[in-house]
Amino acid sequence: MRVEEHVERPGAFVRWRTMLESRSPFLMVFVPLTIIYLATANLSSYTHIDPLTNSLTAWHLGMTGSVVLPDHAEAAVEEQRGNVAWVIDSPRGPVSQYPPGAAALAAPFYWAWDQPMTEWFVEGFNNPDAEPIPFPLPSPAPSAIAMALATAAAMGLVAAAIPHAGGTRLSGVAAGYVGGLATTMWATSSDAIWQHGPASLWVSLAVYLAARSHLLWSGLAFGAAVMTRPPLAVVAAVVGLYLSVSRRTWRPAASIGAGSLLGLGGVVWFNWWLWRDLSVSGGYGEERLRALASADDAVSYIVNLTSSLVDPAHGVLLYSPFLLLLIPGIRAGWRQVPDWARAATVGGVVYLLVQLRVNRFSGGEGFLGYRYPLETMTAGAVVLTSAYTQWVQVRPLARLAFWVAVVVSVSLEIYWKAWVVPGYG
């Protein structure tokens, strides 16, 4: 008589979790998010003049190798400035006021797309009394595809960094999806050529490389972020200094500083080449640097900070309310993560404080909710995930409220994608 040993098979959830734990967190986030972003991308219209302006530079870089916009000289005259696009005069001709990093990332996609601009006669947006002008327009599709890939990769790198901070692969993947679908990474960064998608890509890569102790490479990634959005030099500086103090050695500051200074030097060189001016502000002018250095109008600054959190149209806590549930756990989560994750979080917060000092919290209109906090959320993703693990996850009521808030956030993104954006077509 043979006695058969009974072996209990694991349930479907256990099998799925085991499979997930054996896979790359980066790919588990990057591939599905790319599919979602591309399936919902706005490939036919522009909803804001900022990405429209970046697309002009991306098209010219991809098709001609130059950032000069000779076909858009009429948009650079004083009465048209900021009306159709942020095109301004330079000693080399009409150009975008923005640094070249975001456009450079999308330029190869325009080269591969290989389509001419469409002749467009526009009356303008911000100054409707200005005379209509001819305005050749590139397709938004190549830049939207580039931004979908960049944003998906940023969230994939967030997922990949979390296991290096003691989290599980499952928690990393969950964080990647929450960041990718329950924040305006989906509705804004992945949809058009803002600076935020490329900037978040480089910031997340820098944090991941710091987690792997590749500090020079981390600095180079920060340098690419600075070429995309110069104020992100603040994050690089804070991370390098924080790690040097934490580890009591000058090497982290030197390594991250050496890499990131290449990016900062690239911005300065670009501005000298274009404007004959050794500065980091370039087409923005010096007004925002003066605002940063000024101690005046503290009340307006406090209002700006507060509004960035709770404003009905642009408050980050209203459009991503799950963040409220993470606040009580930040202290406990902070204690559990390595110094590189703490450094990135502090750097992200300081960056946002600087950003809100030199610019209005809203960032304009034509997009869902907020956009300036996105790089800060990317930099602090590891600490935020730890806050969930240490505080929310162990409290059933808080856990339920958190995931309900995530569903609300995702629903807002879907509403924008499905009903609002098509109206711009």
Q: Do 153 and 57 belong to one domain?
A: no
Instruction: Give pLDDT, residue 128.
Output: 72
Residue that finishes a domain, picked among 95, 127, 159:
127
Q: Within 10 A of 126 (CB to CB), how many other CB atoms are there?
A: 12
Task: Categorize the per-residue pLDDT at 243 as very low, low, confident or very high, splitting at 50, 70 and 90.
Answer: very high
Q: Do 203 and 279 belong to one domain?
A: yes
- Separation CA 347–CA 247 (nearest Å): 17
Residue that finishes a domain, picked among 127, 161, 189:
127
Q: Do 286 and 352 belong to one domain?
A: yes
Q: Is the dihedral of CA 85, 89, 93, 98 positive or negative?
A: negative
Please choose, from the candidates 146, 175, 194, the residue with its C-alpha nearest in 3D space to the C-alpha of residue 50.
Answer: 194
- Number of helical H runs and strand E runs in the chain: 20, 4
User: Please, how many CA atoms are within 13 Å of residue 158, restricted to the half-sphere of its CB?
Assistant: 37
Could you tell me the residue range of the domain that residue 317 belongs to? Answer: 143-424
Instruction: Give pLDDT, residue 233.
Output: 96
- Separation CA 22–CA 62 (nearest Å): 39
Instruction: Give pLDDT, residue 131.
Output: 81
- Domain for residue 371, yes or no? yes
Exposed, middle or buried, 50 (CB in 10 Å: 0-12/13-18/19+)? buried
Q: Do 164 and 241 belong to one domain?
A: yes
Instruction: Give pLDDT, residue 289.
Output: 60
Q: Do 312 and 374 belong to one domain?
A: yes
- Domain for residue 27, yes or no? no
Q: Provide, rounded to the nearest whole percent, the portion of the chain with pLDDT above 90.
A: 78
Q: Is the dihedral of CA 384, 377, 253, 242 positive or negative?
A: negative
Residue 3 has pLDDT above 70, yes or no: no
Exposed, middle or buried, 179 (CB in 10 Å: 0-12/13-18/19+)? buried
The number of folded domains in the chain is 2
Locate 170 and state its tokens: 């499952």
Side chain identity, residue 270: F
Q: Do 247 and 359 belong to one domain?
A: yes
Residue 22 has pLDDT above 70, yes or no: no
Q: Do 242 and 307 belong to one domain?
A: yes
Task: Categorize the per-residue pLDDT at 4 as very low, low, confident or very high, splitting at 50, 70 and 90.
Answer: very low
E-strand stretches of 148-188 = none
Residue 1 has pLDDT above 70, yes or no: no
Q: Do 151 and 257 belong to one domain?
A: yes
Pairing of strands 121-122, 133-134: antiparallel
Residue 5 has pLDDT above 80, yes or no: no
Residue 425 has pLDDT above 80, yes or no: no
Q: Do 62 and 115 belong to one domain?
A: yes
Q: Do 160 and 212 belong to one domain?
A: yes
Q: How many residues in total does the chain contain?
A: 425
Locate 76 and state its tokens: 């650079």
Q: Which residue has the higher pLDDT, 20 or 105?
A: 105
Q: 273 vs 86, 282, 287, CA distance in Å? A: 19, 10, 21
> Could you tell me the pTM of the whole model?
0.93
